[in-house]
């Protein structure tokens, strides 16, 4: 038994050297990253890992720019730590998709203190120091949802019957969620004011982008309203799925329900008649635009695609605002034609027979 001690000690030493070497290689690789991306989580939407990460990676590779893509997994302290690591390791530009504006602002201030440029990606960091903002027009996203709900209520004959509407908003600390709500409220509030629509009792709540919490909230809304809710604004496809789950559990018929992100499940529910529409945001264009902005800043060139400004505190932030499209059962195949989704992701199992 004693003879094994020396080999084990040597093996331990070798492993330690290998681990140290691997760690050094990792740090060296990170240190060469000119651009750093900070994504917020994997739970509020499937888009971040399904679309943002691969499309941003592809755009930076094509531009010949070294990069690293981080995901905070829903933890603000993690996102700040990832940002600090990027700054320490020499990143010159950081794309910030903040979990909340407080975290985003602290990251952008820390970056500015070290001469690192930041770009607000997808979400605007309120009172931050970003040089540019690249996103979809988020108020238009909300308006598209509101108009989609109205169209569906007209189509099913409920519009003239004073339908009761529930609103499942996103995360209250997410500025995008506030903008989405601004958009659909601009459509719905006049209808509430005229008595054409009725807002459900306890029918306007924030969900933290948590589908489980959204399901509980919608169950409570249904109970408070005697199951007589005729339509629902769900701020994304995950929350729309929560509404659908409640309706199915109660053995109720579908009602008009909105969504956004054009996820595979969202499209499946549209095909099956459980979800009315989803807002299609072509993430590849957003990723390309953000990467192009980062590359331009790295090279000291003019940022392409700027088409307006967004008021952010005392400043106007130059903005690249991208268009969105409403997806329904009539045009869902566009997602396949654009390569945004694969038919094999949607047209499977019970949904295969529903596809064109």
Residue 13 banded pLDDT, cuts 50, 70, 90? very low
The pLDDT tens digits of the residues spanning 194-211 come to 999 999 999 999 999 999
Domain ranges of the chain: 31-130+282-322, 138-281+326-354
Answer yes or no: is pLDDT of 6 > 80. no
CA-nearest of 278, 167, 180, 182 to 231 is 167
Residue 281 in contact with residue 136, Cβ under 8 Å? Answer: yes
For residues 115 and 7, the model is more confident at: 115
Q: Identify the three-state secondary structure at position 315.
A: strand
Answer yes or no: is pLDDT of 98 > 60. yes
Q: Supply φ then ψ for residue 82, to 5 degrees.
A: -65, -40
Give the rounded percent of residues in the chain with a pLDDT score beyond 70: 91
Domains 31-130+282-322 and 138-281+326-354 share a fold: yes
- Please state at what angle helix 237-249 crosses helix 264-272, rounded to 10 degrees: 40
Task: Please tell me the pTM assigned to this model.
Answer: 0.85
Answer yes or no: is pLDDT of 145 > 90. yes
The pLDDT tens digits of the residues spanning 180-190 come to 999 999 999 99
Residue 259 in contact with residue 237, Cβ under 8 Å? Answer: yes
Mean predicted confidence (pLDDT) in 205-231:
98
Q: What is the pLDDT of residue 318?
A: 98
The CATH classification of domain 31-130+282-322, taken from the options 2.60.40.1930, 3.40.50.2300, 3.50.30.10, 3.40.1190.20 = 3.40.50.2300
Answer yes or no: is pLDDT of 107 > 90. yes
Residues 6+ apart with CB under 8 A from 111: 83, 87, 94, 117, 118, 129
Q: What is the pLDDT of residue 87?
A: 97
Q: Which of 31-35, 68-72, 142-146 has the lowest mean pLDDT?
A: 31-35
The pLDDT tens digits of the residues spanning 262-303 come to 999 999 999 999 999 999 999 999 999 999 999 999 999 999
The pLDDT tens digits of the residues spanning 243-252 come to 999 999 999 9
Q: Supply φ then ψ for residue 156, to 5 degrees.
A: -95, 5
The pLDDT tens digits of the residues spanning 305-352 come to 999 999 998 899 999 999 999 999 999 999 999 999 999 999 999 999
Residues 6+ apart with CB under 8 A from 213: 207
Q: What is the DSSP string of 128-151?
A: ---SEEEEE-HHHHHHHHHHHHHH
Residue 356 banded pLDDT, cuts 50, 70, 90? confident
In terms of CATH architecture, what is 138-281+326-354? 3-Layer(aba) Sandwich (3.40)
Residue 11 banded pLDDT, cuts 50, 70, 90? very low
pLDDT averaged over every residue in the chain: 92
Q: What is the pLDDT of residue 46?
A: 84
Q: What is the pLDDT of residue 7?
A: 42
């Amino acid at each position: 038994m004693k003879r094994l001690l020396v080999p084990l000690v040597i093996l331990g030493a070798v492993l330690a050297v290998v681990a140290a070497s691997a760690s050094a290689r990792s740090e060296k690789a990170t240190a060469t990253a000119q651009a750093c991306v900070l994504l917020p989580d994997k739970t509020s939407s499937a888009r971040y890992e399904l679309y943002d990460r691969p499309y941003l990676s592809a755009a930076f590779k094509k531009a010949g720019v070294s990069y690293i893509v981080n995901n905070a997994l829903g933890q603000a302290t993690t996102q700040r730590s990832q940002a600090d690591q990027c700054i320490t390791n020499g990143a010159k530009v950081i794309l910030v998709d903040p979990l909340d504006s407080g975290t985003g602002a602290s990251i952008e201030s820390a970056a500015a203190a070290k001469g690192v440029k930041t770009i607000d990606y997808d979400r605007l960091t309120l009172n931050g120091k970003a040089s540019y903002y690249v996103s979809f027009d988020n108020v238009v996203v909300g308006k598209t949802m509101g108009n989609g709900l109205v169209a569906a209520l007209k189509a099913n004959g409920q519009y003239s019957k004073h339908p009761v509407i529930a609103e499942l908003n996103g995360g209250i600390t997410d500025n995008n969620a506030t903008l989405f709500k601004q958009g659909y409220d601009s459509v719905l509030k006049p209808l509430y004011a005229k008595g054409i629509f009725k807002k459900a009792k306890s029918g306007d709540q924030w969900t933290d982008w948590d589908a489980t919490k959204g399901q509980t909230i919608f169950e409570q809304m249904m109970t408070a309203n005697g199951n007589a809710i005729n339509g629902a604004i769900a701020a994304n496809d995950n929350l729309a799925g929560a509404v659908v789950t409640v309706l199915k559990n109660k053995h109720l018929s579908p009602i008009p329900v909105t969504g956004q992100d054009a996820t595979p499940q969202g499209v499946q529910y549209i095909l099956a008649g459980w979800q009315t529409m989803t807002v299609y945001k072509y993430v590849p264009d957003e990723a390309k635009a953000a990467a192009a902005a980062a590359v331009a800043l790295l090279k000291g060139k003019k940022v392409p695609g700027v088409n307006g400004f967004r008021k952010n505190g005392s400043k106007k932030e130059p903005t690249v605002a991208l268009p969105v499209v409403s997806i329904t059962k009539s045009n869902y195949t566009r997602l396949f034609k654009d390569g945004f989704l694969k038919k094999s992701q949607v047209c499977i199992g019970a949904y295969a027979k529903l596809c064109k």
